[in-house]
Each structure stands twice: as C-alpha cells, then as structure tokens.
C-alpha cells in the first residue's frame, strides 16, 4: 500500500446514523428482493445517494457499505455476495462486471501510525477504487484501496489486486501480476476495438 496515496479518514456520527438507516433498508427492502428486481434496487441505491448512469444490475446479496460513495456506469453489474466497502468512492464503469464474492475494499487501517501506542484503535485510511469501462473483476477477487483497473481489463478469479491495472490487460495471482493482453477474437469488427 505504500505506492497508494491513502489519507486518514474520520467517520462522522451523521455518517454512522445514515449507515444504520441504510442497513435497515438493505435488510428489509433490498436483500429479500427477487434477483430480477434490479430497478427497485437501483431506486433504493439512488435514494441513498448512489450515482447510477443508466440501467445497472446490482444483485440482492451485494453489500454496499455507503451507497452515497458508489458510482455505476450504464449496464454495470455487481454480482451476488460482492462486498463494496465504500468508505471512499467506488466507481464501476459502463458495461463492467464485478463477479460473485469479490471484495472492493476502499479503506484499511494504518498499522504503522504511532497513534496505536496511545489507544486501542488504528487510524482509518481510505482511497477511491476505480474500475474502467468493459472491465471484468471475476469471482472472489480482492481489490485494495486506491486501485484503478483500466478499461477492458480482466482480473482472474481469486486474485489480489494491490496496484493499478493497465487497460486491456489480464491480471491474476496473489498479488496480481500481468498474464498478458486481453485479446479479442479476430472475428470482432475493427470498428468495435478500442483506439
């Protein structure tokens, strides 16, 4: 995490109260809905401040820590049991998918801060996560605070992403390392390829 700019973060009483209300809404009105009720869940997320560009697909078991820190592009998908720990902003670009059991973690604790000698808590640090357009974060991936995943990138299952990922790159492993470029089939029309 030393390469990522993390800033100390304080969670206000107002923020805590808003999250309590959100958790009740999530538990009673979001989580029990059938999978096909994406528009209803979009409505609830927007009600709590999420910025959603167009139709998107957030599955009922997805956990959003603070919807007001979530931005979704058109046709973005957050799959089953995804955990969006959105202490800082989490942006998911258009046509991108975050698959089941992935963890988008925009905050951690500064275990090197000498303040831990004065009390029981480690200071909270937070940094935004950005996932570009047409990217795919596959199943059970951990994305650390401050990471940017470029357009068209693919993160292979069970990877740990602690550094930025270039556009149209396949990454995998713990920590994630480049596996090569994301190559589209040759039958794809040239006008569909990114510049």
**What CA–CA distance (Å, rounded) separates 41 from 58?**
7
Q: Which letter, b or e, does each residue of 147-177 get, where b requires 16 or more Cβ atoms within 10 Å of its Cβ?
A: bbbbbbbbbbebbbbbeebebbbbbbeeebe
120 domain residue, yes or no: yes
Residue 30 lies in a domain: yes
Span 135-159, mean pLDDT? 99
Report residue 38 as tokens.
Answer: 């994406």
On the CB side of 89, CA atoms within 13 Å amount to 11
Residue 25 inside a domain? The answer is yes
Domains in the chain, number: 1
Mean pLDDT for 165-170 is 98
1 occurs within a structural domain? no
Q: Which pLDDT value is given to residue 189?
A: 60
d(CA 169, CA 154): 6
Q: Is the pLDDT of residue 89 over 50?
A: yes
Look at residue 2 and tell me if it is in a domain: no
Q: Is residue 75 part of a domain?
A: yes
Q: How many CB atoms lie within 10 A of CB 92?
A: 28
Provide, rounded to the nearest whole percent, the portion of the chain with pLDDT above 90: 77
As a whole number of angstroms, the distance between CA 193 and CA 168 comes to 11
Instruction: Tell whether the model's pLDDT for residue 153 goes beyond 60.
Output: yes
Domain carrying residue 145: 7-192
Residue-wise pLDDT tens digits, 110-142:
888 887 788 777 788 999 999 999 999 999 999
Mean residue pLDDT across the chain? 92
- CATH number of the domain to which 110 belongs: 2.160.10.10
Q: What band does 147 get if pLDDT is binned at 50, 70 and 90?
A: very high
- The gap between the terminal CA atoms of the chain, to the nearest Å, is 31
- Give catalytic status of residue 109 as yes or no: yes
* List 8, 9, 38, 109, catalytic entry: 109
Q: Which pTM was predicted?
A: 0.89
With respect to residue 161, please indicate whether it lies within any of the assigned structural domains: yes
């Amino acid at each position: 995490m030393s390469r990522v700019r993390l800033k100390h973060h304080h969670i206000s009483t107002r923020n805590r109260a808003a999250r309590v209300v959100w958790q009740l809404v999530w538990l009673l009105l979001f989580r029990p809905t059938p999978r096909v009720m994406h528009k209803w869940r979009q409505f609830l997320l927007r009600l709590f401040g999420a910025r959603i560009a167009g139709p998107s697909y957030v599955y009922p078991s997805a956990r959003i820590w603070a919807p007001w820190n979530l931005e979704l592009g058109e046709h973005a998908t957050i799959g089953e049991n995804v955990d969006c720990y959105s202490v800082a902003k989490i942006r998911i670009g258009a046509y991108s998918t975050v698959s089941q059991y992935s963890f988008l973690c925009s905050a951690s604790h500064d275990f090197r801060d000498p303040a831990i000698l004065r009390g029981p808590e480690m200071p909270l640090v937070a940094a935004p996560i950005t996932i570009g357009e047409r990217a795919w974060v596959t199943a059970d991936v951990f994305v650390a605070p401050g990471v940017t995943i470029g357009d068209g990138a693919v993160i292979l299952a069970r990877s740990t992403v602690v550094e930025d990922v270039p556009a149209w790159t396949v990454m995998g492993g713990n920590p994630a390392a480049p596996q090569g470029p994301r190559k589209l089939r040759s039958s794809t029309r040239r006008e569909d390829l990114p510049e």
